[in-house]
Structure 1
Amino acid sequence: MKLSLITLTLTTLAAVATPPNIMVIVADDLGYGDLGITKHPKIKTPHLDALANQGALFHHFYSPAQVCSPSRAAMITGRMPHRMGIYSFIGGSSGNLTHIPKSETTLPQLLKKQGYQTAIVGKWHNSLNDIQAKNPAIPSMSHYGFDYWFCSDDNAKILNKPNWRRNGKNEGVRRDLAANVVADETIHWLTNKRKPNTPFIQFVHFYEPHWRIEAPKPLVDSYLENATNNKNEAIYFAAVSNVDKQIGRILTCLDKLNLADNTAVFFSSDHGPAKLGKGHSSDRSYGTAAPYRGNKYGLWDGSIHVPGIVRWPLQIQAGHEVHTPAGSIDWFPTILAMTNTPLPKKLEIDGANHLPLLLGKPFSRNKPLQWHHYNTNVKNAPNPNAVMRKGDFIICGFYDPSTQLAKASWKEAHLSKVKTGKLTRFSLYNLKSDPKQKHDISGQHPQLFSQLKKQLIKAHLTMQKQAIGWKGTQTITQHPDPTH
């Protein structure tokens, strides 16, 4: 018995000394309230619930942006997306050259230098690989640090998605749901392509529950029988459950390969849920950010307040709950700290190393969590254009509604709006007592409001000064400081 205990202890110590594997799992358009663990009344997500119970659950976790491309760019660089010229989602038009600039430093680049294997399966959306195959102006996935990639630029088609590219070669259509394909290929890489004795970072990026939402018929039928009589709602519920099921398959694979204990699994969404659709077959968005206000494209709290889970059995205590606000912009410095990877000198990052939060240790943040967006798509009831969270408080700044655009995808001509947008009114909320942001309390806390307003204006002007464009459009003049 004593010998077995000694052997177990030595094995554990050896595992801790081994660099951890990293798996980053990202869902698309998943709302904060869409999981069982975050109290959805009907959607079943047993595998993600278990993942949270086995590790750390964040109660206030944030995406870096309110829409996919800028959010994903910030996740992989730890830098706010305006520094990379990515402000909204990269549209699929044939001439779109928008991409993470070649000069940026990415997480897989740094870990690769440390001897890590690097792979991504699923949604990328930080450049268009179909265009890169013909245009060397766009950096390759190899340049971004990936040894292996299996991705499709078609981010909307969920069933029988076309144009899957494996390491640059187009393999065409895969006749299945995208979530199933992503899980299959993730397991394939772990089982057949991974070098067994080399640490790895693998990005697992699902396309669901993004529009156009599809799901397995048995799951849909089950929700129709037990949860709702609305078929489109049942399809959304089933799509989330199917992502959960596929994540369960991946976690089982880690167990079978004896990788689970020393693999840090990160899970989140790229932003909040899409606005409720009109019920058409291609518009089945029934996600929720409850109890928070907002949807994708806006900057109310529910637009960016997303699920956040990390499991690392050798280091993170099971059942750990984190109430301090954090976000996936922090993944870059946090994963560097986990893997003892040096942060390059003079690299200015906006995220914070929140490993101390995961280990129950003191944590401080130098730069407040903040978000800026030139367009919120709603003129009659505008969303905020700049937001900053400090403790339980969140301050919101708004542009004149007449400046908002009808379209959301990024166009080069939009840079003038990025550079010249002016915050004209402000509101303050306490998210702890008012998660739906119904009550502006700026009048009740004039000193705090004045302090946070000045910080938000300064941060927004800094964003406008730093924001880059493409084709030499960086020189557009800014508005003067509205505090003067």
Structure 2
Amino acid sequence: MSRRAFGGVLGASAAAVGAVGLSAAQATPKLPQSPAAQERPFRAAPARNSPRPNILFVLADDLGWADLSSYGSPHIKTPHLDRLAGQGVRFTDAYSGSATCSPTRISLYTGRYPGRIKAGLDEPLEEEATVGIDPTHPTLASLLRESGYATAMIGKWHCGFLPDYSPTRSGWDEFFGNFSGSLEYYSKLSSVGEYDLYEGDVQHKDLRYYTTVLTERASEYIGRRHDRPWLLNLNFTTPHWPWLAEGDVEEAARLEKLIKAGGPEGRMALGHPDGGSIDTYRRMVEGLDQSIGTVLAALKRSGRERDTLVVFSSDNGGERFSYSWPLSGAKSTLQEGGIRVPTIVRWPARIDPGQVSHEPVFTPDWTATLLEIAGTRPKASHPLDGTSLAGYLLRGEDAPTRDLFWRVRGERALRRGQWKYYRAAKDKAPLRDGKDQLHDLKQDSREWADRSAHEPALLAELKAVWERIDAELLPYPSSE
């Protein structure tokens, strides 16, 4: 079974289990006080002079919408990310560019829908993939580098494999991390048994817990003396499976042995179908929070905290042990639980602290936003699908009005304001019959009240918009 098939099965089962379990838990316990309780509606600060910022973009892997205490988790404690939210803006209606790893990353690096390039049709890219982001395609890093930024990526790439594809071929001056979609946290073995930790395009040996290794590298990069602004994409694999918190060395050794043995069981070992627990997941997320706290402390020591724009987000919704109440669905689906993600923005020089925004935004918007803030234009040959939020964040303009579009095989979604057009894939949501639906997310974030019979004209309009955008993209191979 491929990772795509395996992930689809897990996503569907997680959605089903989550729907049943959470419905039974409607009497949610009172949540602990968090910075979210002190937030006020977002309002842009008065214009202030500031240099072009450094950009630290931190991406978690498979982190669910409510897996942070500031987003409502009753059992996971994330004080460092909660503090980050209290120092900037917490977005409640932020989305990933797709429902799985590599398409979302493609949408961040290109600022475009994943379906505009062949690699975006793989959901996600597997180790045998022969496609990736073409080195000639403009990226966030290549465009910023042309305008004078130093660029680095630390962590998960997952947008193509050597020898043809690499971050250092797509605009990043430096790369330290893994190419594949997942790896065992200690041995660094991918699902096909290959060692997958690289510095540039050369393997780098380090058998310590991966999250710790990435934290050290990121802190070192931030602490250097830079003579120009920098972009650092810090891509953790946490809390993606396998379910290993730091110190779980016996379970890591068992998985390593399975991977090295090969065969179907070895290929699926990283998926960890016989492992994990809510407590292990909690430890992984809390470890991620601690690591981000360490990186932010390094930023403060560097003296550049005020002039650094920090964005924290996730590449898609959560998986088996994630907490996403009240959303339905999970990773691999276009229900809210599969694509709505925690997102925090902090820039002390330009954005006031303690705010919350309910505006719908998604991954490609951050590409457009960062380029505008850095004074850089996209290439006319590769127009962006994301919309810049710079006017909203910095100049007091209204949030941009536009439609957010998603597609995965057999499934479609489009959001306009409070309304969401959605069609489920029959094999992922058989109870929904694969029919066109309309949901009022302001009233029903769980997406169970289908309003299509009450708003047939709006449903038809949103469906037509979705199909117009879809017609501009590459088609999925007919065999799919």
Identify the TM-score tier after normalising by the shorter chain.
Answer: 0.7 to 0.9
Match of 2:186 in 1: 159
- Does structure 2 retain, via aligned residues, the 8 Å contact 1:330–1:351? yes
AA aligned to 1:301 is E
Residue 90 of structure 1 pairs with residue 125 of structure 2? yes
Flag structure 1 segments of 5+ consecutive residues without an equivalent: 1-12, 133-137, 219-229, 277-285, 376-384, 405-422, 479-484
RMSD of the TM alignment (CA)? 2.5
| Higher RCO (CA-CA < 8 Å; seq separation 6+) | 2
Q: Quote the offset at 1:424 in angstroms.
A: 6.4
Match of 2:308 in 1: 263
Q: Quote the offset at 1:253 in angstroms.
A: 0.3
Q: 1:314 aligns with which of 323, 340, 349?
A: 349
- Superposed counterparts of 1:218-367, under 5 Å: 232-274=277-319, 276=320, 286-359=321-394, 361-365=396-400, 367=402
- Does structure 2 retain, via aligned residues, the 8 Å contact 1:64–1:371? yes
- Superposed counterparts of 1:170-185, under 5 Å: 170-172=203-205, 174-185=206-217
* Count of residue pairs brought into register by the alignment: 397
- State the alpha-carbon separation in 1 of the partners of residues 467 and 168 from structure 2: 38
Q: Deviations over 1:252-311 (max 9, x none)?
A: 00001101000000000000011x2xxxxxxxxx11222211101111111000001110
- State the alpha-carbon separation in 2 of the partners of residues 435 and 367 from structure 1: 20
Compared CA separation, residues 363 and 261, structure 1 to 2 (3 A):
same
Q: 1:442 aligns with which of 452, 461, 478?
A: 452
- Superposed counterparts of 1:107-126, under 5 Å: 107-126=140-159
Q: 2:440 aligns with which of 427, 430, 433?
A: 430
SS at match of 2:221: helix
- State the alpha-carbon separation in 2 of the partners of residues 339 and 461 from structure 1: 32
SS at match of 2:168: coil
SS at match of 1:447: helix
Q: Quote the offset at 1:156 in angstroms.
A: 3.0
Residue 208 of structure 1 pairs with residue 208 of structure 2? no
Q: Quote the offset at 1:426 in angstroms.
A: 0.1
- Does structure 1 retain, via aligned residues, the 8 Å contact 2:87–2:353? yes
SS at match of 1:175: coil
The higher radius of gyration belongs to 1
- Does structure 1 retain, via aligned residues, the 8 Å contact 2:88–2:345? yes
Compared CA separation, residues 343 and 442, structure 1 to 2 (3 A):
same
Match of 1:455 in 2: 465
SS at match of 1:268: strand
Q: Quote the offset at 1:403 in angstroms.
A: 13
SS at match of 1:344: coil
Q: 2:174 aligns with which of 140, 144, 148?
A: 148
Match of 2:37 in 1: none
State the TM-score, normalized to the length of structure 1.
0.77
AA aligned to 1:287 is S
- State the alpha-carbon separation in 2 of the partners of residues 387 and 402 from structure 1: 14
Match of 1:6 in 2: none
Q: Which runs of 4+ in 1 moved over 3 A?
A: 363-367, 398-404
Residue 69 of structure 1 pairs with residue 69 of structure 2? no
State the TM-score, normalized to the length of structure 2.
0.78
Residue 190 of structure 1 pairs with residue 200 of structure 2? no
Flag structure 2 segments of 5+ consecutive residues without an equivalent: 1-45, 189-194, 249-274
- Does structure 2 retain, via aligned residues, the 8 Å contact 1:387–1:397? yes
Q: Deviations over 1:69-117 (max 9, x none)?
A: 0000101110000111112111113xx2120123321011011111111
AA aligned to 1:267 is F
265-274 vs 337-346, which moves further: 337-346
- State the alpha-carbon separation in 1 of the partners of residues 428 and 376 from structure 2: 47
- Does structure 2 retain, via aligned residues, the 8 Å contact 1:388–1:394? yes
- State the alpha-carbon separation in 1 of the partners of residues 77 and 239 from structure 2: 14
Q: Quote the offset at 1:158 in angstroms.
A: 1.9
SS at match of 2:392: helix
246-255 vs 324-333, which moves further: 324-333
Compared CA separation, residues 195 and 122, structure 1 to 2 (3 A):
same
255-264 vs 160-169, which moves further: 160-169
Q: Quote the offset at 1:366 in angstroms.
A: 6.3
Percent identity, aligned pairs only, is: 29
Q: Quote the offset at 1:360 in angstroms.
A: 6.5
Compared CA separation, residues 269 and 84, structure 1 to 2 (3 A):
same
AA aligned to 1:176 is R
